[in-house]
Amino acid sequence: MLSIKRLLSATAAAAIAVAGLAIGAAPANAQGTVATDTAQFMFTASAENRLNGHTLEYVKIGDYIRYGNTEGGTAYGVRVNSDVMTKSPNLITAALNDALKDSTTTQQVPSGVDDPLAWALSQGVLDSIKAAPWDGVTRKFATYLVNHMSELPTPGTATLKNATAQGSSDSFGAYIELPAGIYLFRDVTSPVVEDSSNAVPMLVHSGTVEKTVDNKYRLTNITSEALVEMKNYSTEMSFSVNGDTTTDSTGRTASRGETLTYTMNGYVPKTDEVTGDNLDYVSTPQKGLKVDLSSVKVVIVNKDGKTVTAADSGSDYSVLTSDGAQVDTKDGKQWFTADGTGDSSTGMTGHTITVQLTKNTLTKWQNYIGSGYAMRVSYDAVVTSDATTQVDNEFYMSTLPDKKKYAHSVLASVTFRKVDASGKPLAGARFRIESSNPNQLVLPSGYVNANANRDASCGNNEAISNADGWVTFDGLAQNPDVAYKITEVAAPNGYITLDRLSFVVNISNQGAKVVFGDDLTSDPYGLVTPTAVDSKGSNALTVENVHSIAQLPLTGGAGIAFMIVIAALLGTAGVIVVVRSRRNMTV
């Protein structure tokens, strides 16, 4: 009697579900009847597109033989399918010998065996490596059969459809019905289902196995459902960027001097899908970025984004730059200076960074194919002083070179004008910009205001009004929930500096807005009057001139004390603020 030990979940992907089948007392060539009972083969996956629309070819490799009733129920055995034996009587033996030639025990099918499949099951040589289902004897056995499909009977075909949820949001199932037995399944979907790869060949059996009192196993129900995890994967990819500042509702913006982290989420491909010896993650940073090559990390994450394993940069992957790229060493780190130009509509050009993974690495990670896992490559890049209105980046995997992803980060600006009471522009007023609330936004220490209205006296976060009174701070991140504080730190010649006077600017993707807090801290003299929003969504502030100390309003409790300190100071000061910002865009 032949009995079968069923694997957990019947078949973990390459299905390798026949591994562990064991022969009982009945000889495989004993007389019996081929069972024709119908069984259900349920294919499962974490996404509907990994099932629906996938066309499977199938060939019955092994028949179940009904020998009759014995104590405890009907006895079943297995033998090579008669159609397979008729067309290619030596194929199963050749496939087993090829799969076994490099195995640990180095066995071959003995000459004169009654049935090579029954022999393999009785000897337990068809292994099941749950941690790496793409490896091992059974995997090689299935691969050999697929490579010799012309020697097998004409396969049947079935298309999976109507996948339904299997009790959770990330588990779906679709089934087909076939006569009970052992099958070779091959995913031949063409073209591939959008954002889903074809599955690897699968060797699957139907039936339920029970353990007997003598610790042997008996196949008691040949029609019980076979559960098959589709070891294909979603080819959806993402490319994201984040940094120290808060992001707005539409995407990521950036400030000069800020360190951005670029994250490329791909998938673990089958090793036989990768042409050549390596898998490449290719990135093309655009001008305005300097990449810390030592910050590159490669990890596998689960569906919750938690790292489950990390690659060893010494052996699992290498970081390469294209010929002629500018790479400098500073403080023990290598820095790649981007020089690319382009956009997502025309494609991006420039020198590239390639994170190259070996096939040996992919072999170790084959158990992370599908099931919500992702291969994540990340690195840090600093936004440099030559970044203008945006910094972009491009990413693709060498397995899908046409599926490029883009990260687009906008740099905003603030512009306002300094005038006197009559509206005459005032040159030479110096202003400083800083975070109004460091707990919400930190203006990077490396921030540089690159606008032309600066001189040697200015710090990186300062600007001076030009001959027309205009002041501009550029290279800023924008967000509706955070704000910048702008303070006049030096007035033009002949005017007094009201060093307790400042105003707050919010840069929002929904339109710039100047917010002025009318309190003793920001306006102890009651000199600032906000005006209405103009037709372009900008706001203005006016600072009243004072010709003598007596003209300062005695508001709140600050007026008298402050007048004593500045009793000898006379002057005028005025400011009209007009703010513009660039609308944030992400691709």
pLDDT at 498: 63
pLDDT at 229: 82
pLDDT of 246 over the 80 cut: no
CATH number of this structure's domain 238-407: 2.60.40.740
Q: Which of 20-24, 225-229, 377-381 has the lowest mean pLDDT?
A: 20-24
Whole-angstrom distance, CA of residue 93 vs CA of residue 544: 98
Place of tokens 């040949």: 222
Mean pLDDT on 384-397: 90
Tell me the per-residue pLDDT of 72-81, one tens digit each, with 9 for 90 and over.
567 788 899 9
* Residue 158 neighbours by CB distance under 10 Å: 18
CB 517 within 8 A of CB 524: no
Q: Which of 158-162, 389-393, 417-421, 474-478 has the lowest mean pLDDT?
A: 417-421
Beta bridge partners of 253: 410
pLDDT at 213: 60
pLDDT at 583: 30
- Any idea where the domains of the chain sit in the sequence? 2-229, 238-407, 411-587
- Identify the CATH homologous superfamily for domain 411-587: Immunoglobulins (2.60.40.10)
pLDDT at 194: 74
Mean pLDDT on 112-119: 88
Mean pLDDT on 506-515: 52
Query: Helix, strand, or coil here: 92?
Result: helix
- CA neighbor of 100 nearest in space, from 76, 131, 126: 126
Structure pTM?
A: 0.66
Please tell me what DSSP assigns to residue 348: E
Domains 238-407 and 411-587 share a fold: yes
Mean pLDDT on 367-381: 85
- CA neighbor of 96 nearest in space, from 75, 127, 55: 127
Q: What is the largest CA-CA distance in the chain?
A: 120
Whole-angstrom distance, CA of residue 117 vs CA of residue 287: 62
* Residue 564 neighbours by CB distance under 10 Å: 9
pLDDT at 247: 41
Query: Helix, strand, or coil here: 50?
Result: helix
Mean pLDDT on 464-484: 81
- CA neighbor of 564 nearest in space, from 544, 582, 549: 549
Tell me the per-residue pLDDT of 12-68, one tens digit each, with 9 for 90 and over.
233 333 433 433 334 444 568 899 999 999 998 878 888 999 999 999 999 999 887
Mean pLDDT (the chain) is 76
| Confidence label for 318 from pLDDT (cuts 50, 70 and 90) | very high
Contacts by residues 125-132 (CB-CB < 8 Å, ≥ 24 positions apart)? 125/96, 125/100, 126/16, 126/18, 126/19, 126/20, 126/21, 127/16, 127/19, 128/7, 128/12, 128/16, 128/17, 128/19, 128/20, 129/16, 130/8, 130/12, 130/367, 131/367, 132/363, 132/364, 132/366, 132/367
